[in-house]
Structure 1
């Protein structure tokens, strides 16, 4: 896992390009602490940069940017889990290799099959590959969207990087995207493809961008990622298929030449990964857990059940309010974009780093794929509410309760209104007051948010799963996990998002994939291994005592911070009266914090 950057264009001198590339990579140094490299190709006005985190082939052979032959170069962030199978095929066709990396396999695979090879890659990846013969550069992002790849293309220029902050490092005067505060206060994050910077976008997952050096133009194409058609199967077959796919995925995700562990929260997902990893690995598994002095948030007893069952080397750290106060300033600096849900990830990765790990498995994706959230029970409620007259739905914004206010989102013709009803933060009338703009402006922006046409073909739980995977997980969980883990030089791997696991789950009929009990398919597949104490209890998310801790965080409680904005001050009072969730005030705090930094 690494950080990548690049500059294509002729407006700067070679020295200016090299200096700019260095600044971009330095801004992402934490995500690639094991080395820096760059390659310039003046005849193409191109420069690739790379910061390395070594996990496979730790020698200098894995250094990037990497060449293949005399005309291919790549700068690559990620892991290709099926690279050994792909390599065997390429060797049988006469291709030779100089090292043991998955990086070189991408280069040889492109040489053999061109851009068709991209869809053969199974893993998490974002890379730039230049073909000097064809005078083309490709930016490529994995079909699940696990790794980010940001780019700017305008005026015969193309810039790209693994983090948004790299663009700001390239040009400190880079303009902000004026709409990001609207998205952030509405969603709780800045949703793809948008970012906080003007003209900087996240490349869509399962797509590649082609830059034509002759025409100095780009186009984007999809290579993978459509929702597969459901296949008829029996429940026993569905259970067996799920077990087979997940077992293989965990085995693939354990491939590394550096220490690897498992995040163990005590829930179903992380417990399963720990158990399967223990069965797949001959060595003792390392499990990493976070706990709290506040007993209502502690999952220690459940973590201990699994750690003892598999005999893992168990690392448990108690995060205190003092830890929070001492580190919150650093956490703010490590955020690539504003977020309401990355602090917990920052701490657990810090513990992993301090205990010598370089890669850790995480249970992200199980809830979204197998119906683990309460939202999966609300599809019937959405259908009923949407039958109400639109004027009545719109009027819900005046209701006193925040959850009831969100009914107003169902008046949108755009299906994004359904997601905002389920997980939205503030309604447009509140956002408008916070930002000093019209409610109509907010509504227009949100109701025109682009969603995929495949969503219209789905109904019931499959529709909810689409929202949870493509909006919430994509923009909140994966994005936060990426930059908060890389802030500590840790690679987080997500076996539940292995391409075979995802495709297998999506191909199941709705009634086989989702049942009355959340994640029943996973439970049935591993009933003989997973203790009942883990799965037969109320769902409890991996949460911190933030309501209490932020209640003592003076910068957020300071009325001067909110620039005499009446709506913000009302929300601050609600929080102080314990009538507002910490995350909602934290979102407002971040918007005003960024406004003060301009």
Structure 2
């Protein structure tokens, strides 16, 4: 796990390019505190930079940028390849040689053996740049689930890339603010890919690669092709057995590490399964980490205790109170690479992971999306029915005080974007217009530039899962988890996003996958012999802080919005103090009014 950066340009001096790449890496030093490295090609038009967080092969052999094929292949790589040992064995049988124990070298050897098809063989979370010196081609590649970030910017004669958007601002290039980012942010509560706060800086689509020809300066982005199986699972017994087998296999693979590793244990179904399964596969005692609050309404300690009683290992738990929160809250806000209404909780738990000496941790992100753990899974049928109403009726929601009725305006878009924003949107179009002094037509036009094309063949629950995966998880959970964990030099691994597991779940019939009233019944059934009943037989409780109470008494936070002359913001602040506005909305207003 690392941070990467690079520039290809013919219109700047080698010295300037070198300084720019070093500046980018310095900005991202938190994500790679263990080592740094740089590379430039013979013509000095291509420069790679790397900040390393050592997880596998902790020796200097793992130093990057890394070379292969007598220096003709160069890579700067961020992530983990969980099937690297299998690929290495296959490549060894083909007479390829290795000098390191790292997964990085396997990527290079695989490319030499199979070319761009090697990208499709990689199983894991990754974002890397690979330079083929002989062909004068550079590739930017991102994993299928988009777990690891990779941003790029191109003009006529250059390509700039980095793991964080902040890094682009540290170069000698001039990047203007994206004039529309505040509209997207107030609607979504995050920035939907490929959008960033900077004009002409984009997120590389997940499961794709960008090929840049250094001779012609022409680039193209292509989607990676993945093998698909046609076997549909129609038996509940087969489904349970398959899920159990693949989840256990994935967790075991995600435990590969030469550095201290652990599990985030919230006390919910997903983290409990990971902890219990991981404990079986760890050669030494398992490290688990939990956070609690002095406000019992937000504490899950009783459930965490049920799991730690069954796991022989080292458990660490920390209690966060308002005083501790206020001490670190400003630092956590500054840690955001892109605006988000979430992520503060991730900053804190990774802060304690680092304090506890952990370099890598496993998280349960992805299980809710796979197994229908969100309310949207049950609500999608109603949403689809509601969206058939005439546009004028749906638009009339803007005249009501209820947030849900206001958001019904989004359904007048008559597309997947509108359905998602009705389910999870933060502010309605009329509210965004008031916040930013725009017309509602301007807001609608900007938002509808984001294309959300739900596949036509998906049923109601599958549509909800598709939206949660491709919008909420992709743009909020994964992004927040990455930059907040890397602020502390901690790697977060996500076993529920294993490609083989995702493919298997996709091929399970809906009546089996989403059976019963209880959410995630299939996952529960697969591990009922391991999970205590009190863990799965309770209401879902998300991992959140007592923000509503803490923030309305936080002077640092309140002072950030009090200076506004906007009547809507003044009213929103008053409503927030009186518990008539949700903290997430106020968090969004704070970031929009304090944007630099």
TM-score normalized with structure 1 length: 0.97
CA shift, 1:44, in A, is 6.0
**Structure 2 residues not aligned, in runs of 5+:** none
Instruction: Establish whether residue 111 from structure 1 lines up as the match of residue 112 from structure 2.
Output: yes
Output one character per residue of 1:133-173: Cα deviation in whole Å (capped at 9) or x when no partner: 11100000000100000000112110000000000111485
CA shift, 1:332, in A, is 1.6
Instruction: Establish whether residue 391 from structure 1 lines up as the match of residue 389 from structure 2.
Output: no
**For 1:231-242, what aligned pairs fall within 5 Å after superposition?**
231-242=232-243
**What SS does structure 2 have at the residue aligned with 1:337?**
coil
Q: Find the counterpart in structure 1 of residue 45 from structure 2.
A: 45
**For 1:184-583, what aligned pairs fall within 5 Å after superposition?**
184-224=185-225, 231-452=232-453, 455-516=455-516, 517-558=518-559, 561-583=562-584
- Higher mean alpha-carbon deviation, 569-578 vs 77-86, is at 569-578
CA shift, 1:347, in A, is 0.5
Counterparts of 1:151 and 1:415 in 2: how far apart (Å)? 27
Q: Find the counterpart in structure 2 of residue 24 from structure 1.
A: 24
CA shift, 1:562, in A, is 4.5
**What SS does structure 2 have at the residue aligned with 1:50?**
strand
CA shift, 1:282, in A, is 2.2
CA shift, 1:226, in A, is 9.4
Q: Find the counterpart in structure 1 of residue 57 from structure 2.
A: 57
CA shift, 1:230, in A, is 7.2
Counterparts of 2:587 and 2:172 in 1: how far apart (Å)? 28
CA shift, 1:569, in A, is 1.0
Distance 1:230 1:94, change over 3 A: closer
Q: Find the counterpart in structure 1 of residue 184 from structure 2.
A: 183
Q: How many residues align?
A: 594
- Higher mean alpha-carbon deviation, 469-478 vs 438-447, is at 438-447
Counterparts of 1:236 and 1:221 in 2: how far apart (Å)? 39
Query: What is the aligned-residue RMSD (CA, Å)?
Result: 1.4
Q: Residue 375 of structure 1 contacts residue 464 of structure 1 at CA under 8 Å; is this kept in 2? A: yes
Q: Residue 14 of structure 1 contacts residue 42 of structure 1 at CA under 8 Å; is this kept in 2? A: no
Counterparts of 2:310 and 2:358 in 1: how far apart (Å)? 22
Q: Residue 414 of structure 1 contacts residue 448 of structure 1 at CA under 8 Å; is this kept in 2? A: no
Counterparts of 2:94 and 2:108 in 1: how far apart (Å)? 14
Distance 1:162 1:30, change over 3 A: same
Counterparts of 1:498 and 1:135 in 2: how far apart (Å)? 33
CA shift, 1:520, in A, is 0.5
Counterparts of 2:584 and 2:284 in 1: how far apart (Å)? 40
Distance 1:312 1:203, change over 3 A: same
Output one character per residue of 1:347-369: Cα deviation in whole Å (capped at 9) or x when no partner: 10011100111000000000111
Q: Residue 184 of structure 1 contacts residue 190 of structure 1 at CA under 8 Å; is this kept in 2? A: yes
CA shift, 1:500, in A, is 1.0
**Structure 1 residues not aligned, in runs of 5+:** none
Distance 1:426 1:226, change over 3 A: farther
Counterparts of 1:336 and 1:456 in 2: how far apart (Å)? 34
Counterparts of 1:171 and 1:275 in 2: how far apart (Å)? 50
Output one character per residue of 1:190-237: Cα deviation in whole Å (capped at 9) or x when no partner: 110010011000000000000011110110000146997671420000
Counterparts of 2:226 and 2:588 in 1: how far apart (Å)? 32
Counterparts of 1:217 and 1:414 in 2: how far apart (Å)? 34
Counterparts of 1:171 and 1:547 in 2: how far apart (Å)? 41
**What SS does structure 1 have at the residue aligned with 2:456?**
helix
CA shift, 1:449, in A, is 1.1
**What SS does structure 1 have at the residue aligned with 2:49?**
strand
